[in-house]
Amino acid sequence: FLIGGLWHGAAWTFVIWGALHGLGLSANHAWDSLRRRWRLKPRQTWWSKGLAMLATFHFVCLTWIVFRAESWSHTTEILRRLGAMQFSAANLALPVLSILLAGYLTHWMPNIAFARIRSAWSWLPSPAQAALIISVALGLYYLAGAEAQFIYGNF
């Protein structure tokens, strides 16, 4: 994993990022080994799976801070602000926040709503479907703003 970190670039942040992923995987394997040794059944409850996913997600997000930081001092500053809950204004434009909110709300829609939307979509004539798809694509294109720098472009 250290080599995997170095593959991304010759900086200590990448090495630390690789080491953290290696430690996370080692902790997972150690837990599985202990569970088997103590003959504990893996928890298959919805809350234990959810907790495991939540822990993994947050671990990976925290390691991405190390990965994307310009330096170790930058990493510690971000982590310090997270720990102190000191946030500056989000740099997301209102259209982006609107799209994120719409996506979040659709996550909580009941299944019957998706069935109704699918049914309504299938009844639309093909030209209307094409017009809607093109409108959404153009809207996203114009809302996109500046291009994000390709992080592997310097290799």
8 Å CB contact between 143 and 95: yes
pLDDT band at 54 (very low <50, low <70, confident <90, very high): very high
Single pTM value for the model: 0.56
Residue 125, φ and ψ in degrees, nearest 5: -65, 155
The Cα 103–Cα 128 span in angstroms is 23
CA distance 3 to 9: 10
- Side chain identity at residue 72, one-letter code: W
What are the sequence ranges of the domains in the chain? Answer: 2-84, 94-143
The whole-number pLDDT of residue 55 equals: 92
pLDDT in tens, 16-46: 888 898 999 999 899 888 888 887 777 778 8
> Is the confidence at residue 151, as pLDDT, over 70?
no
Where are the alpha helices (H) located in 38-125, listed in sequence order? Answer: 46-68, 72-84, 94-107, 111-123
Residues marked as catalytic:
8
Short-list 4, 26, 8, CA closest to 152: 8
The model's pLDDT over 83-124, given as tens digits with 9 standing for 90+, comes to: 877 666 666 677 778 888 888 888 888 888 888 888 999 999
